[in-house]
Amino acid sequence: MTTLDTPDQPSPPSPDGPLRPDGPDKLTGAARYTADVTVPGMLNAALVPATIPVGRVAAVDVSAAVRAPGVHAVLTAADMPDLQPLPSPPLGHGSLPMRDDVIRHEGQPVALVLADSWEQARYAAGLVGVEYADTAAPLAFEDAPDETPASGHAFWPTDASVGDVEAGLRAADVVVTSDYGTADRHANPIEPSATLAVWDESGSLLVHSSVQALRLTHMTLAGMFRLPPEKVRVICPYVGGGFGAKGYIWSHTILAAAAALVVRRPVKIVLTRAQMFTLSGHQPVNRQTVTLAATRDGALTAIRHHSTHPTAREDGYVEGATRSTGWLYACPAIETRMRVRRVDRPNPTAMRSPGEGIGLFALETAMDELAAELGMDPVELRIRNEPEHEPMTGLPFSTRTLVRCLREGARRFGWERRSAEPRSMRDGHDLIGWGVAAASKDSIGALSSARISMEADGRVCVETAIQEIGTGMPAAIQAVAGPVLGVAAETVRVRHGDTLLPAASPSIGSMSALSVGSAVELAATRLRDELEAAGGLEGLRAAGLERLEAEATWDPAEHMREKLSRNAYGAVFAEVRVDADLGQVRMSRCVGVFGAGRILSPVTARSQMIGGIAWGCGQALLERSVLDTRRGRFRSKNLSGYLVPVNADIGDVDVSFVEDDDRRVSAVGAKGIGELGAIGVAAAIANAVSHATGRRMRELPIRIEHLL
């Protein structure tokens, strides 16, 4: 097995902390992503997808495909090795791929073509003939009954309540109730999912894979192939974007390892853009109903928040859209409920941001509607309902920064100049709208380890098996280790992306920086103490030692024993311009102020939040996957039919942070920010469009037909 070191290129000092050590290689093209990796004797694979959503495979004709140029084999379910089934999750689907003849969704792999080149494999895949039996019309979301989720994908209580909601409704002076909808959306990372699997003569498995969870991939493959963990190695120094699409273990990773075992040659699978729409999850369409009740002075007396979304029939994913409703605003009576409808479609998955990203669109739009009914400023309404403790559970907050974010955001945005009357602000032919929304994301962690060494000449190296998903984790690691050890942060070398290194957090749930950062802080502190005991570098050299090394593990279960409500917060202010005749909407300006614990690397944190705001703008105005319910397939599985924001779509963006060093969340004081920047943006834009036009926006994305 080869060793793949990550680059060692120190960056110049920066007033905002170290610049990204991975930056030069990424900018020059020297960085190697999974699809770039080749090994001798490698075969390229192409999937043959099912063209129906429901039924069985009756027969597969591979005769033409095996005669095509460059083809070495065409594998079907009959050729697959016997694998150990594992519970779902960690699998992103309920059954192992190509294990039986049942078709569970359109796009499901039914055969695998192995050829010398990717182009030859794709061509031959089109020659494979598949006959189907027992086909049926897919069950549409509208026709399926509501079900209480009951699967491993339900990570939170599906029903929660406190107080008497009906009594709260009766005590109110004003009650608003509305339905809200969000669209099916697909993550479209620059790098499609890819896996290269290599078996050696000893029966060890080496996998290069573009994944958000190295350790999860490692343990899953070891379990499925009945291997001791030390016989499996997974490498992923760089992930070319994920957004949740690479968080689970999807079929291509399993098939690459299985096919390589069958043909005794390395096998690489790189999904096409169209296959990313069916084989790596999506954010499901969601229907929500929010009821808010308040007294005339704006004090909430009741909140009811229900959500429903479609999921796969088998082991369906559950979107936690109502979660943050329990901690955001003071209210004596709150009721939340999540339901699913099991239908014939690919399984959804967590997508930036699951839960809060969808749920806060509905809740924050409803808060705007309540403010309008009360004749109250939307910022003041939110501040007036600031809780002293978490309303749903009564737990104290570790820290709470929402009011500070709202006030600072209002100041930076110039909110005091807002005219409350809809359609009252214009610039020439454009209607101008200003909107606000709160953002919040819970702070969770994962068991993480780090190893730090210092050479006798003062060089420092940090090793941890984090996968660099594009957020700048190496820079954050440098920013933690350098100050503890008294060295310039940009001189710290970071090795990552290999399961031979100490295990680290997955890049999901906004947990990487706080988890890995805590492990690095603990390891660096331990190394500093050992170095001081040795008499510093001079003592190290005098003792004839070439290096000192320390390793530490941060365990969130130990650190978070105290029962607290641990969340990050933000306030988003958006300005939109709406063409008065054409209904075209542009986000011309956005201010985001966030309280997310200690900011380890200001330059990368700011970049993340700008990217999150662009992401939220896409959710509000552009992104929508349309499902053909007659065929059970998504239309326009490409970037010509699925719109994402480009630079010209994003106006001026102002991002800042309030002080918030939260050691009760993590040893390093950080909270998660990866998803926080995308939360609240869609609601702020929708509220701004409503202010500009006088028409309430309750459906995403906001389309021209909503305004004409």
Q: Are 293 and 200 in contact (CB under 8 A)?
A: no
In whole angstroms, what is the distance from residue 308 CA to residue 353 CA?
17
Task: Report CA-CA distances (Å) from 394 to 303, 535, 563, 614.
Answer: 16, 50, 10, 35
Eight-class DSSP state of 352: S
In whole angstroms, what is the distance from residue 632 CA to residue 610 CA?
35
Query: DSSP string spanning 572-614?
Result: EEEEEEEETTT--EEEEEEEEEEE-B--S-HHHHHHHHHHHHH
Q: Are 238 and 32 in contact (CB under 8 A)?
A: yes
What tokens appear for 636 in the block? 């326009």
Amino acid at 526: R
- Look at the block and give the residue holding tokens 């005098």: 542
In whole angstroms, what is the distance from residue 510 CA to residue 569 CA?
13
Task: Please give the backbone phi and psi of residue 75, each rounded to the nearest 5 degrees, phi first.
Answer: -100, 140
Catalytic site residue from 142, 408, 675, 705? 675
Alpha carbon 356 to its chain's center: 12
Amino acid at 291: T
In whole angstroms, what is the distance from residue 672 CA to residue 285 CA?
25
- Look at the block and give the residue holding tokens 């994301």: 441
Q: Are 633 and 512 in contact (CB under 8 A)?
A: no
Task: Report CA-CA distances (Å) from 186 to 104, 400, 671.
Answer: 19, 32, 26
In whole angstroms, what is the distance from residue 84 CA to residue 91 CA?
12
Amino acid at 262: V
Task: Please give the backbone phi and psi of residue 291, each rounded to the nearest 5 degrees, phi first.
Answer: -120, 125
Eight-class DSSP state of 296: T
HSE-CB of 418 using CA atoms within 13 angstroms: 25
Residue 443 has a CB neighbour count (10 Å cut-off) of 28
User: What is the helix (H) or strand (E) element at residue 690, kind and residue range?
Assistant: helix 681-693
Q: Are 44 and 116 in contact (CB under 8 A)?
A: yes
In whole angstroms, what is the distance from residue 16 CA to residue 461 CA?
21
What tokens appear for 329 in the block? 């605003």
Alpha carbon 381 to its chain's center: 30
Question: 358 in the Ramachandran plot: left (φ > 0), alpha (ψ -120 to 50) or beta?
Answer: alpha
Q: Is 675 a catalytic residue?
A: yes
Eight-class DSSP state of 167: H
Contacts of 78 (CB under 8 A, 6+ apart): none
Q: Which of 233, 220, 278 is nearest to 91 (CA)?
A: 220
- Give the SS3 label for residue 145: coil
In degrees, rounded to 5, the angle at the alpha carbon of residue 467 between the alpha carbons of residues 571 and 47 is 105
Alpha carbon 320 to its chain's center: 13
In whole angstroms, what is the distance from residue 246 CA to residue 248 CA?
6
What tokens appear for 29 in the block? 């093209």
Contacts of 402 (CB under 8 A, 6+ apart): 328, 382, 386, 438, 440, 569, 571, 595
In whole angstroms, what is the distance from residue 97 CA to residue 270 CA?
16
What tokens appear for 17 in the block? 């902390």
Enumerate the active-site residues. 675
